[in-house]
Chains A and B, each alone.
Chain A
C-alpha cells in the first residue's frame, strides 16, 4: 500500500474507533455566546390551577433592559419552550446556577422538579436549591426597577460566598438528591423570605422525603448548623437570652450511641471569645465567670434539645444521626427501621463552652503596683 493511502486508512480507522466510543457525535450544536441567552436563575411556583409557574430574568449577563418573564405550563421543559417563543434569543440552561422554589411547591414535593433538572445534561448538578417564602417575582421586578440589573448574578455570588463560609445552609441539587435517597438522613435547603423590599435568610427548610415539612428559623439556625457538622467555625454566635455574643466560635460535635441504641449522646464543644456582653455579672471574677459559662452551657443545651425535639416531632433526620449508627461491621437498623426508631429515641445533648477570652478588663488594679497593694 502506498504510504499516503496507508496514512488515510489509519486516520479513518482512528476516527471510526473514536466515534464508536460514543463520547460525542459530529452533530455538535453551535452555541455562539452572543446568539444565546444563558439563564442563571429559575423560580418555580404553582398557580391555583395546579400548573407550574416558571420565571426567569432575561436577558441575563447583558447590559440591556431586563425584565422578569413568567410562563405557566404543566411541565418544566414545556415552559422552557414557551420562554423561547417569548424572547428573541434562545434561552439556554447550561449556566443555570440557582433554582428557587416557592414554599407552596416545596410543601407539595420537589422530586419531579429536581429530576427534570438533573436529567438535563446541560444543567450542572451543583445548582443551588433554595426555598423562597413570599413573592419572588415582585422582589425581582423591584430590584430591576431599582437599577439592580445584575440581581441574579449578585444572588449567585452571595450563595457562592456562603457556600465557602459554611455558616448558612446552602444546598445544591446533588446534595439534595443524595440525602433524599439516603435512608439515614433527610434533605434540607436554605429558606429565604422574600417580598418586594428584600430578600432575607430565614433558616433551614426541613424535608421529609421530597416535601418540606418544617423549618428551623433564626436564631436557632446557628445551633442547628453546629449540630449538623462535625467541625464548624462561626464568626459569631448570638445568645440573645443571655445578652451575649460569642465570637470566633469553633464548634465540634460528637455523636455516640449507647450499646442498646436506645439513647444517643451528642457532645458539643464550643470554643470562642466573648464579643458582646450586656449583663451585670463581673466576668473578670473567675467564680462569676465559671458560673456564667455554666449558664451559657445550659442555655445552649436547652436550645439544642428544643431543636432536636422539633425535628423528632417532624420525623425527619436532617442531622444525619442515623448515619452514625453505621459502622464497618455494624448495621443495627435498616433504613426503614431507623425512620421508625428515630422519633422515639432518647437524645441527650451535653454542651461544653470554653471561653478563651472574656473580653473584660480584669480590674482597675495596675499590674505595676507594689505586690502588697495589688
Chain B
C-alpha cells in the first residue's frame, strides 16, 4: 500500500467519536452491559465470588484500583460474611448504589469497584489506587526560610495542604470535570464572605465553558480561562506553594486546583503580582521592599539594556559617555557584524544554551553550561564575532532576567526584548520609546479574570500600594487589596480605621 492509497483510505474513515454520555436504559446496569462498555481493555476485570447462598460479581479496572484494599476490604468480607450481611461487611468510606449505566461508567473510571449482587443491587465501592508522589519541597519557588511543602499531583493531597492552612468553613470548593477524554477534576476554591461573588461567577462560567478533549496541566486550564490570547504576559499565576495559595485566597482571589498537576492557578492577578515572592514576607519589611524594588529594576534591565546598546551604538553615539565610547569603538572595531546582528546572534545563542541546559539531564547540563560559558564569553570575543562590551551587556541582562520570580514572565521578557531590539536597530531610542509606549498601552488593556492588569497603578488604588512595589510591615496591611473589590475589606478583627 503506497502512501496515496493510505491517505485515501484514511479520508474515508470516520473520526472516532468522543465518549458521548451513555444512553441509560433504565434500571441498574448488568455485568454484560458493563463488559460491553469496557471491551478491549485488557486490565478491565470481572470476578465471581461464591459467597454464602449467592454469587457476587466484581468489576473493576485493575490499574485504577488498589488491589490490596480490594482483597482486604471487599473480597474477604464478602466471602466470609453471612448471606444477610454480605453487602454490609464491605469496608469503605464511599459506597454508592448505582442506578444507571452512565454513573457506573464514571465511578469505574474514578477507581471504584462495581459489586453486583444477585438481587440486582449494584454498588460502587471506591478503592482508588493512590499511587503518586509524596509531598516534596517546591523546586520552582524555593525559599530559604519558610514552609517547604508543595502541592503534588494528587488533588486530594493538594486540597488537604490548603485546608490545613485555612481550617474554616468559609473555604468553599466546587468541583468540575473537564476534558471530554481526560475527565480531569478541577476544583475551584474561594473564601466565601471575602471574595467578590462576581469573580466566582466569572470563574465558574469560564471553567464550565472549557471544551477540549484532554486537559493535563494547569497551563492548559489557564489557556482556556484567559481573557487575551494575543498577549505574551501571563494572565494567571501558577504556583505550587500552598502558603502562597492560602494567602491569595485570603486576599480575595480564586484558586483552581487541577488533578494530576502540582501547580494551582491563581486569579485575578496584576502585573505587579508577578514580581512578588513568598520570601518578601520572610525578610524584614525594608529588606523585602528593597528586594522587590530590585526585581523591577532587573526587569527593566532585562528588557532595555541590550536594545539601548544597539540604539546607542547604531544611531546615538552622542549619548555615550566619552570614556565608554572610547572602549566601545575599540571593542567594535574588529567585529564584522553590525551591532544589531551581533546582539541578535549572541542573544539567540544564549537562549539556545539556556533551553538546551533545561532539557538536558542535570549532569550533562553542567558540561553544557561550562562549554556555553566559554563559547559565549571568551571564544566569541577572540574570534571577533562579538565585542567585549556586548558580552557584558548580554550577561547582565540575562542575570537580571532571572531575578523575576515568575518563570513565565522571565520568558515573556525575552520576547519583548527581541521586539525592542528590532525597533532599536531600526529607529534608535525613538523606536525603544515607541515600543515602551506600545507596551504600556497593551498592559493597560490587559485583564485577568476581567479585572485590570495594571491595578493598583491604573486604575489607581492608593491603599494597595503598601504591598506592590514596596512591602510595608505586616502590621500596616490591615486591608485587603481594594482592586479585587472584596466583600470584607479588613484583615483585622479590631477595626480602628
Which A residues fall within an 8 A CB radius of B? Answer: 7, 11, 14-15, 18, 23-24, 26, 28-34, 36, 38, 40, 61-63, 92, 94-95, 97, 122, 124, 153, 156
Contacts and interface: CB of A to CB of B under 8 A. Distances in A.
Contact of A14 (B316, B427, B428, B441): B441
Interface in B401-448: 426-428, 430, 434, 437-438, 441
Contacts of A38: 317-318, 325
A24 B314 CA distance: 16
A36 B438 contact: no
B330 A33 contact: no
B314 A32 contact: yes
B328 A28 contact: no
20 contacts: A14-B441, A15-B434, A18-B434, A18-B437, A28-B426, A28-B430, A30-B314, A32-B313, A32-B338, A32-B339, A33-B317, A33-B320, A33-B325, A34-B329, A34-B332, A38-B318, A61-B330, A62-B329, A97-B322, A153-B322
A100 to B, nearest CB: 17
A31 B322 contact: no
B317 A92 contact: yes
A14 B314 contact: no
Contacts of B427: 24, 26, 28
Interface residues of B, number: 27
Interface string B302-328: 000000000001111110101001101
Given A14-B438, A28-B428, A95-B322, A62 B333 contact: yes
B335 interface: yes
Contacts of A94: 317-318
A63 B330 contact: yes
Most buried by B among A18, A92, A95, A153: A95
Contacts of B329: 33-34, 61-62
A95 B313 contact: no
Contacts of B322: 40, 61, 95, 97, 153, 156
A31 B333 contact: no
Contact of B333 (A7, A29, A34): A34
A36 B314 CA distance: 10
B441 A31 contact: no
A242 to B, nearest CB: 42
A153 B333 CA distance: 19
A307 to B, nearest CB: 35
A122 B314 contact: no
Contacts of A122: 318
A92 B320 CA distance: 14
Given A38-B325, A61-B329, A95-B325, 9 more contacts: A14-B437, A18-B437, A24-B427, A28-B426, A33-B339, A34-B332, A38-B317, A92-B317, A95-B317
A156 B323 CA distance: 11
Contact of A61 (B316, B326, B438): B326
Contacts of A92: 317
B446 to A, nearest CB: 13
Contacts of A32: 313-314, 338-339
Interface in B120-154: none
A38 B320 CA distance: 11
The 8 closest A-B pairs by CB, nearest first: A94-B318, A24-B430, A61-B326, A34-B332, A33-B313, A31-B317, A34-B333, A33-B317
B338 A33 contact: no
A208 to B, nearest CB: 33
B315 A30 contact: yes
B378 to A, nearest CB: 21
A97 B318 CA distance: 11
B367 to A, nearest CB: 36
Contacts of B325: 33, 38, 61, 95
Contacts of B335: 34
Given A14-B441, A26-B427, A32-B338, A153 B326 contact: yes
Contacts of A14: 437-438, 441
B135 to A, nearest CB: 44
Contacts of B426: 28
Nearest to B335: A34
Contact of B315 (A7, A26, A28, A95): A28
A7 B428 CA distance: 24
Nearest to A61: B326
Contacts of B330: 61-63
A282 B318 CA distance: 59
Contacts of A153: 322, 326
A26 B313 CA distance: 18
Contacts of B314: 30-32
A167 B313 CA distance: 36
Given A14-B441, A62-B329, A62-B333, A36 B317 contact: yes
Interface in B315-370: 315-318, 320, 322, 325-326, 328-330, 332-333, 335, 338-339
B430 A31 contact: no
Contacts of A124: 318
Most buried by A among B314, B328, B339, B427: B314
A15 B438 CA distance: 10
A31 B315 contact: yes
A14 B207 CA distance: 36
Contacts of A156: 322
B318 A95 contact: yes
Interface in B154-184: none
A33 B428 contact: no
A172 to B, nearest CB: 15
Contacts of B317: 31, 33, 36, 38, 92, 94-95
A122 B320 CA distance: 13
A220 B437 CA distance: 56
A371 to B, nearest CB: 58
A259 B316 CA distance: 55
Contact of B328 (A24, A29, A33, A40): A33
A351 to B, nearest CB: 41
A61 B324 CA distance: 10
A18 B428 CA distance: 15
A37 to B, nearest CB: 9
Contact of B316 (A31, A34, A97): A31
A246 to B, nearest CB: 35
Nearest to B333: A34
A24 B322 CA distance: 25
B393 to A, nearest CB: 14
A11 B427 CA distance: 17
A94 B430 CA distance: 17
Nearest to A123: B318
Nearest to B431: A28
